[in-house]
Amino acid sequence: MATYCEILFPLPVFQTFLYRLPDELAARVRVGSRVVAPLGSRKLSGYVLEIKELSQEPEFRVKEIAACPEDQPDLPGIILQFALELSARSLTAPGLFLEMAEPPAAREKPRVKLAITEKGLKELLSGRLKGRRGQILSLLADRQLSPVYIKRKLKVREINSYLRSLSQEGLVEVREKAGKKKPLKITPAPVFRQLALPVRPEGLPESGHRLLQKLESGEGGSCLLTGSQERRLEFLQKIIEYAAQHHGFTLVLVPEIQRLEKWQPLLQSLSGRAVVWHSQLTDSLRRHNWNQIFSGRARIVLGTRSALFLPFQPLSLLVVDEEQDDLYYQADGPAFEAREAARIRAGLEKSLLIYTSDCPRVSQFYHHRQAGSLLDLGREEVCYRVDYYHQDLGRLLKKELKEEIKHRLEKEEQLLFLVNRKGYAGYLFCSACGFVARCEQCRIAMSLQKKNGELTCSYCGHTREAPADCPVCGGKLRPGRVRGSQYLREQLQEIFPGKKVEVLEEGAGEKDSEKIVRRVKSGKGQLVIGTEYALRRLSEGRFSMLFLVNPESSLNLPDFQAGERTLATIYKALEMVKNEDSSRVVAVTAGPEPELVIQALSRNYQGFWEKEIEYRRLLNYPPFSCLVEIGLDSRSLRTSGRWSRLLLEQLRLDFPELELIGPRISRKKWRREKREVRLMVRLPSEEKAGNLLASLKKFRQHRPATRLWVRVWP
C-alpha cells in the first residue's frame, strides 16, 4: 500500500497525472494543494485533484511529487469542481482554468535575461558560428536581452532549444532577475457570523423582499432583473449592502472594465469592503485586493469575467450585470462562456444568481418567464424627443437640420452620430437591374471605401476591389443610400467648416482613440461620429442630440441574433443621450423604419420580444432548439479541414437527427488564425447538447493536437 495523487497541470491537456506521495509530504498535501512534480524533462507545478491508496504499482512508471511549497492556500474543492465542470461544457482543458484561480504571486513569473559569456564572445569573433546560433550571439554581443525579444526579432517558433544548447556549451548565461517576491499573507478563511438581526433595507419592492428571503434560505436559485439602469442599480445596491451585513461574498460581474465606472457610487459607499478585480490591475493593486478578499476585509468583488475564478468562499450572491453583452463570451485564451460559468459556480455553491439587463437576450427572457423568475423594475419616462427621417442623409443635414445643429454647436452641446458602416457607402448597387455587390462568403452587402475603391465585408473582414460596371447587365454601379463614417465625415466637414469632426471607430490605434475619448470628455469634441465601438468607449449621458444612421442595416446580418443585437445597440446608444427636454434623437433609415427600430427607440422590450419569439418559433431557433457552434483549428487549413470531415462523420453516426446549418463565418475580425473550420449544428434541446459534448470529447481523444471549442446557444 502506498499513497498516490492525481495531479492536474495548467497545460492544454485533458488528462491527470499520477504521482507517488512521499511520506515526508503526506502531512502537508491535501486535495487542492499546489505541488511541484517532474513531467517529462521539466518540473511543473500542478494541483492535487485526488489522494488515494493503491495496493499495487500501476503499469506505467510512477514518479514522486518533488515538493509542496507553502506559499499559497489550498484551492477549495468547489474551485476544482468548477474548473472540471466548466471544462466539460467548453472543451477547454481544466488546468487552464485552475491557472486563472491562482493567487497573484504564483502568476508573476521571474524575468529572465540572457547575456553572452567570455567564451561566447570569443566564439562569435572567431566567426565559426553560423545560422540561428550565430544570429542569437550577435544580438547578445552588446546587451542583455529577454528570450521573448529574440524570439520575435528572429521570428523563430521554438527558441528554447537553441538557448539550451548555447547555455550548455557555456556561450550564453541565463540571469534570473528575481522580482521582489513578497510572499502573500496567508490568513485563515474568514468566518461569517451573524452578529445582529439583519436589517432589511427600506424602500424595496415586494419582489425584492422575496429575493432577500431566497438569499437567506441559502438554497440558491436565479432570476432575471430588468428595467432601467438607474432602477436596477438602486435595487441591486440595496440587495448587495444587505448581503454584505452577514452573508458570505458577493461577486458582481460586468462585461468589460469600462463598465465598472457606473458602479463607483457603490464602491464608495462600501469603501474598503468592496474591491475591483480585472486583468488590467497593477501588480501591487492586485496583491492588495487579493489580500483584502482573502482576509475577509473585502466581501464584495466587482470585476470582469476573470473574477469568476477567484477562489474565495462562500459565495452567496452573484450578479451578472448587462447580461446581453457578448463580451461575456471569452473567445481567446481558454474559451468559455462567462454567463454559463456563473450559473455553474452559483449552482455549486448554492449562491443566489441575478442576471440583469435592460434588453436581455431573447432566450434568457424566455427561460426566466417560463420559470416565473422574471423581475421587472420598469422605467421612468424619458424626456427627449424621437424623430424618423427617410431622406438622404446629406440632404437632411444640409437642409432640414442644419440650423438646429448649428444652434446646438453654438451652445457648446455635443452631438453623436452612430453609424454601423466604416467606409463611404453601405453598399454598391446597379440602378438599372438592382444588383448589389455582396460578400461571396457571407452573402451580405459589402461597404465601399472611397479612398482606394475597395469593397469590405463588415461581417468577416473580407476585402476586394470594387468593380466599375455591373457584372449582370453591364450598367453603371452607384453607391447606395446606407451611409458610412467616411461619407458622414465629409458631409459634416463641408456643412460646418471650422468644426473638428471626431471619428471614433475600431482600427484607428489605441493612442488616437484615447485622444478622441479625452477630447470628448473635456467637452471639446462636439461633432462625434462613432460605430458600436464608440459606445463602449464614451461615457453615458453626454450628448444632446443623437443620430442613428441606418440602424436597420444590421438586421440583415446572417445571424439569428441580429434582432436582439440591433436592439441592444440602440438601447446602448440611447444611454448616451442627456435626459433633458431639449435633447433629441433622430433615426435616419433608407426605407420605412422597421418595427424593431421603433420598438427599440420607444424602449418597448415586451413588444420586441413577442415578435422575436414568434419568429424564432417559426424558424426553430433558440430557445426552441439548441444551436451549437463547433470550431476546429490547427496549424494548417488542410488538417483542420480533414479533421472537420472526420468529426462530421462521427457526429452523423452518433446523432442521426442532427441538422447542419452553415458553415458559419467567423464574425471576429481580430481572430487572426484563418486555419479554423466552424460548424453550426442544430439540436432539438439543450439536454441533447450534453450528448453532443460527450461525442466531441470522444473525438478529441484521438486528435489532441487540434484546438476544439464549442459554444452553445440554449
CB atoms closer than 10 angstroms to residue 607: 15
Nearer to DNA (CB atom), residue 133 or residue 584: 133
Stretch in the footprint of DNA (CB under 7 A) among 16-24, 372-380, 413-421, 575-583: 16-24
Nearer to DNA (CB atom), residue 65 or residue 307: 65
| Contact present, 252 and 233 (Cβ < 8 Å) | no
For the bound state, the minimum distance from the C-beta of residue 705 to DNA, rounded and expressed in Å, comes to 6
Question: Cβ contacts of residue 186 below 8 Å, gap of 6+?
Answer: 72, 73, 294
For the bound state, the minimum distance from the C-beta of residue 165 to DNA, rounded and expressed in Å, comes to 9
Binding of residue 40 to DNA (CB under 7 A): yes
Of the candidates 36, 39, 409, 555, which one interacts with DNA according to CB under 7 A? 39
Residues in the chain: 714
Binding of residue 452 to DNA (CB under 7 A): no
* DSSP conformation class of 381: P
Binding of residue 645 to DNA (CB under 7 A): no
Nearer to DNA (CB atom), residue 15 or residue 685: 15
| Contact present, 448 and 439 (Cβ < 8 Å) | no
Stretch in the footprint of DNA (CB under 7 A) among 12-20, 304-312, 370-378, 468-476: 12-20
Of the candidates 167, 292, 639, 650, which one interacts with DNA according to CB under 7 A? 639
Nearer to DNA (CB atom), residue 37 or residue 223: 37
Binding of residue 336 to DNA (CB under 7 A): no
Strand order in the sheet with 249-253: 274-277, 300-303, 249-253, 315-321, 352-357, 221-226, 374-376
Stretch in the footprint of DNA (CB under 7 A) among 13-21, 410-418, 516-524, 584-592: 13-21
| Contact present, 36 and 45 (Cβ < 8 Å) | yes
DSSP string, 394-444: HHHHHTTTHHHHHHHHHTT--EEEE-S--SSBS-EEETTT--B-B-TTT-S
Binding of residue 2 to DNA (CB under 7 A): no
Binding of residue 691 to DNA (CB under 7 A): no
For the bound state, the minimum distance from the C-beta of residue 340 to DNA, rounded and expressed in Å, comes to 22
Binding of residue 701 to DNA (CB under 7 A): no
| Contact present, 359 and 572 (Cβ < 8 Å) | no
Binding of residue 15 to DNA (CB under 7 A): yes
φ, ψ of residue 699 to 5 degrees: the values are -60, -40
Of the candidates 28, 132, 273, 350, which one interacts with DNA according to CB under 7 A? 132
Nearer to DNA (CB atom), residue 111 or residue 521: 111
Stretch in the footprint of DNA (CB under 7 A) among 40-48, 75-83, 399-407, 460-468: 40-48
Nearer to DNA (CB atom), residue 42 or residue 180: 42
Stretch in the footprint of DNA (CB under 7 A) among 125-133, 213-221, 284-292, 616-624: 125-133
Q: Residue 319 is placed in which grid cell?
A: 450578479
Nearer to DNA (CB atom), residue 18 or residue 67: 18
Binding of residue 127 to DNA (CB under 7 A): no
Binding of residue 110 to DNA (CB under 7 A): no
Peptide bond before residue 314 is cis, with ω within 30 degrees of 0: yes
The SS3 assignment for 630 reads strand
Of the candidates 31, 36, 51, 62, which one interacts with DNA according to CB under 7 A? 62
CA distance 308 to 82: 10
Binding of residue 61 to DNA (CB under 7 A): yes
Nearest alpha carbon to residue 547 among 420, 714, 357: 420
- ∠ Cα 194 234 324 (to 5°): 105
Q: How far does the chain reach from its first CA to its final CA, in angstroms?
A: 48
Helix axes 131-140, 160-168, angle to 10 degrees: 80
Q: Residue 56 is placed in which grid cell?
A: 499495487
- Exposed e or buried b per residue across 430-465, where buried means at least 16 C-beta atoms within 10 angstroms of its C-beta: beeeebebebeebebbbbbbeeeeebbbbbbbbeee
Question: Cβ contacts of residue 530 below 8 Å, gap of 6+?
Answer: 416, 417, 418, 419, 503, 504, 505, 537, 538
Nearer to DNA (CB atom), residue 1 or residue 60: 60
Q: Residue 504 is placed in which grid cell?
A: 471614433
Of the candidates 42, 128, 180, 182, which one interacts with DNA according to CB under 7 A? 42
Helix axes 562-574, 605-619, angle to 10 degrees: 170
For the bound state, the minimum distance from the C-beta of residue 470 to DNA, rounded and expressed in Å, comes to 42
Binding of residue 22 to DNA (CB under 7 A): no
CA distance 24 to 341: 38
Nearer to DNA (CB atom), residue 57 or residue 649: 57
Binding of residue 139 to DNA (CB under 7 A): no
CB atoms closer than 10 angstroms to residue 123: 20
Q: Residue 584 is placed in which grid cell?
A: 433629441
For the bound state, the minimum distance from the C-beta of residue 93 to DNA, rounded and expressed in Å, comes to 8
Interacting residues with DNA between 160 and 219 (CB under 7 A): 160-161, 164
Stretch in the footprint of DNA (CB under 7 A) among 55-63, 142-150, 319-327, 615-623: 55-63
Using alpha carbons only, how large is the chain's radius of gyration in Å? 29
Nearer to DNA (CB atom), residue 94 or residue 622: 94
For the bound state, the minimum distance from the C-beta of residue 640 to DNA, rounded and expressed in Å, comes to 10
CA distance 324 to 564: 9
CB atoms closer than 10 angstroms to residue 521: 12
Of the candidates 2, 12, 125, 179, which one interacts with DNA according to CB under 7 A? 12
| Contact present, 496 and 487 (Cβ < 8 Å) | no
CA distance 408 to 405: 5
Binding of residue 131 to DNA (CB under 7 A): yes
Interacting residues with DNA between 141 and 170 (CB under 7 A): 156-158, 160-161, 164
Binding of residue 19 to DNA (CB under 7 A): yes
Binding of residue 284 to DNA (CB under 7 A): no
Nearer to DNA (CB atom), residue 41 or residue 268: 41
Binding of residue 674 to DNA (CB under 7 A): no
Stretch in the footprint of DNA (CB under 7 A) among 129-137, 354-362, 526-534, 674-682: 129-137
Interacting residues with DNA between 233 and 262 (CB under 7 A): none
Q: Residue 1 is placed in which grid cell?
A: 500500500
For the bound state, the minimum distance from the C-beta of residue 636 to DNA, rounded and expressed in Å, comes to 5
Binding of residue 330 to DNA (CB under 7 A): no
Question: Cβ contacts of residue 221 below 8 Å, gap of 6+?
Answer: 214, 352, 353, 373
Binding of residue 138 to DNA (CB under 7 A): no
Give the type of residue at 678: R
Nearer to DNA (CB atom), residue 93 or residue 317: 93
| Contact present, 48 and 6 (Cβ < 8 Å) | yes
Binding of residue 229 to DNA (CB under 7 A): no
Q: Residue 515's Cα: distance from chain center in Å? A: 24
Binding of residue 126 to DNA (CB under 7 A): no
The SS3 assignment for 393 reads helix
CA distance 459 to 195: 56
For the bound state, the minimum distance from the C-beta of residue 157 to DNA, rounded and expressed in Å, comes to 5
- Looking only at Cα atoms, what is the longest distance across the chain? 90
Nearer to DNA (CB atom), residue 13 or residue 661: 13
For the bound state, the minimum distance from the C-beta of residue 151 to DNA, rounded and expressed in Å, comes to 10
Binding of residue 97 to DNA (CB under 7 A): no
For the bound state, the minimum distance from the C-beta of residue 3 to DNA, rounded and expressed in Å, comes to 13
Nearer to DNA (CB atom), residue 164 or residue 181: 164
CA distance 545 to 596: 21
The residue ranges that bind DNA (CB under 7 A) are: 11-13, 15, 17-19, 38-42, 60-63, 130-133, 156-158, 160-161, 164, 635-636, 639, 704-705
